[in-house]
Each structure stands twice: as structure tokens, then as C-alpha cells.
Amino acid sequence: MNLILFGPPGSGKGTQAERLREKRGLRHLSTGDLLREAVAKGTDLGRKVKDILASGALVSDDIILALMREEIVRVGKQGWLLDGFPRTVGQAAGLDAQLVELDQKIGAIVVLNVRREAVVERLSGRRTCTQCKTVFHVKINPPRVDGICDRCGGTLVQREDDRPATIEKRLDVYEAQTQPILAHYRGKVAIHEVNGELPVDEVTRFIELVLQ
């Protein structure tokens, strides 16, 4: 099955995607992770997008569509889970065209609903492992040892774009450019809305229920 996980930054897409990946054998394709990896490695793509990521603005549709086409082709028919893509109506239209060409379909869209205030609270306390990407929160889900990942012992850092001014900007961008994608897909693809403010395990349970 091919799925899109949809929701504002900080709605838990990455966490839920990892769980769905493990349970359903889907490939987790996160544009944010791919772009951050390119920045960390200093590739051509990384150099192009570094400042854009730090500002909270969006990378151009052309770059994103080319990047994701490659990934979708690589995954083939194993089933994928998109996280952070598509993020504009232009990307959704581009993805639709690619999927027709590749003879693939979106099985369902799962929307994680989280209020703006809750997102700000979550993102400002978020710490991410530089190695395995596991996400912690300084208050809600702190690591056992400050600054160290429970899972792999890696160093925890605050993402540059998880600082307060950038969080607000990313939320504005989400509301203006990403939310309209749901109208694009309504009536064409099954859309399941889930309350993303419930405890993580509950959210996972609801996602499993709606996908049955």
C-alpha cells in the first residue's frame, strides 16, 4: 500500500511513519530527512537548499519532484509512505502525473490534526538524534541522559528550524501552501483524519484502525 502522512510540522509524522514502516514493511520517504542528509553531506543539492531549510521556507517544486521521483522509482512496488511531501498543490499535481506514468496509486492519506499552539510547544522542545533520527522532547519525552539518545547513544540536537521564529514561519507556510492539498485530493483519494494530540501509542492505534 502507498500512503501519504499529512499534517503540520511537529504533528508526529516522522514518529508514526517509523511505526508504520516497521509494521507494514513500507519504505519511509521523508523529504525533510533527505534534504537534511544532503546538507550534512555537503552535496550539490545540500548546498542549494541549506539556507532555505534554515529559514523555514520551501524548496522549489522542481527540485523536490525530481528528488522524489527517483526515490519512488527506487522503492518500486514495495509500498511507500510519504512524509513531508507533497507540500504544495504544484507538488501534488506533479506527483499525480508521475504516479500515472509509473502505474502507481496513492492508497490513502492519513491526516494528523494538531492545533497551532500545540505544535509550537512540541517543536520548541524537540531534540533529534544526529545519528538514528529518533526524536525526544525535553518535557514530554526526555532522554534518560540529557543530550544523549536512548536508542543509539548519539548526540541530540535542536534542529536549526525548530527555533521559535522559524517555527511560526513554517506554520504560516503550512497553512498557506500545504493545507490546500487536501482539497485537491478530496473525493479522489481516501482521507482519514486522526487526532494527533493524543498520546503517541493512541495515535498509532487510530491510524491502524482507519487503515483496516
Q: Long-range contacts of range 62-71, CB-CB < 8 Å, 24 or more positions apart? A: 64/31, 64/91, 65/91, 65/94, 65/95, 65/98, 67/31, 67/34, 67/35, 68/29, 68/31, 68/95, 68/98, 69/98, 71/29, 71/34
Please tell me whether residue 89 binds ligand AMP under the rule CB under 6 A.
no
Catalytic, 115? Answer no
Tell me whether residue 53 or residue 72 sits nearer to ligand AMP (CB atom): 53
3-state DSSP assignment of residue 188:
coil
Q: Which of residues 136-175 bind ligand AMP (CB under 6 A)?
A: 161, 170
Catalytic, 69? Answer no
Q: Which of residues 44-73 bind ligand AMP (CB under 6 A)?
A: 52-53, 56-59, 64
Question: Min. distance of Cβ 105 from ligand AMP in angstroms?
Answer: 20
Considering only 32, 111, 134, 171, the residue that binds ligand AMP (CB under 6 A) is 32
Considering only 7, 8, 9, 196, the residue that binds ligand AMP (CB under 6 A) is 9
H or E element: which one contains 28?
strand 27-30
* Cell numbers at 23, concatenated: 509494521
Catalytic, 151? Answer no
Question: Min. distance of Cβ 145 from ligand AMP in angstroms?
Answer: 25
- Cα separations in angstroms, 180 against 21, 86, 175, 185, 186: 26, 11, 8, 9, 10
Which of the residues are catalytic?
13, 87, 126, 159, 170
Instruction: Kindly list the residues in this chain that would bind ligand AMP in the complex (CB under 6 A).
Output: 9, 31-32, 35, 52-53, 56-59, 64, 84-85, 87, 91, 161, 170
